[in-house]
Structure 1
């Protein structure tokens, strides 16, 4: 069954947390390792608008269903970053516009060139590029959802658990869209399968790795996916990727754990 974009657009909404007392974190504080992960996740969620910028110069912008979805996807991701920032502020961790501006400036010239390069390559490839975009999105959403689920288990803080469950519930619909689109665009399209497979093999990295310093990526992966349970979760994501047309055997997530020294 295909994803109903109209229903999604009419029901998408900012994440609610006005019924939660975040002051509880003052007496039941998160660990330093958790706060470091939370900062990473907040920065990545806040950076979503920059991913959107890069995508709107590709053939994806010609599809009205995709642009409708991306509009509300970006809105929901924005509020995910906002609530994570609120949790960080309770713990006296710096957030806000100045922090976000510094993050974007740190990326330097590569961030300014990225949309130009992507536009040229994507438009040369034509509509088959959209399959790559949708597959990439599905994998990133699978990883993000798994990361929030692992965070709940590893940190075991009731207030954090409630917040992350609310975020993960919205991420589930994001997964449904990207997964549905990826399958439809890869099915019976060998060229799209080859383009997507090449891009994933040579360019894909764990969510946030193009934005955050290597030390922070390594910490996040170690905190959330270290040990046998984390590796098992990574392999579950890789199995989902295997089931996409023409994408079997890539082992992308496990490859990232090994690249950062998390799995032997």
Structure 2
């Protein structure tokens, strides 16, 4: 099996390590089967898709809808846009997590803005008929409890995209482009301890008042998360590897 490529954009070392650990654990990939590249550290070299079974794009501090963007953010977005273009051209296996839904939407002609941001917490994600029929959601119930926490969201799907999951406060929680390209707004890569770690790391990032950090960490550890939500990571890897 060819390895998978994990693209990370987080500058915080602890968050990058945690992201990789979660992907490995929920996908059941071996260490050597996951190549991680930190796009925020240096320009992304040309990616030959033939070298990989699939690509995962993790979350990050950037928002596609940011009005003021640093040179670093603009460079990261340009690098990811090239990857997205190649992925779409070949319908190559791709799973974007949280930030990934913004990157796909912005590059494929949809609309992403601040209309449907969600506070850090756990929400009900409801699968559409298309989602229930999609192999990415094999073993996942029709309504699943998942972690969210985002400032922006997809407001208008890219042309040709298929809505796979929706939420009460965020209408687009997951979609598919082609047969193999996926994005989720919620986090199938996070369990309670993982979210608590992220809350601690990003307490000054504007997702919530810093004074609420301890309360939110307790919430994360006690939240009634649906364990089946993590199957998305495993299902993606198994489908792409085959």
- Please, what TM-score do these two structures have when normalized by structure 2? 0.32
Q: Which has the higher strand share?
A: 2
Q: Give the number of the structure whose alpha-carbon radius of gyration is greater.
A: 1
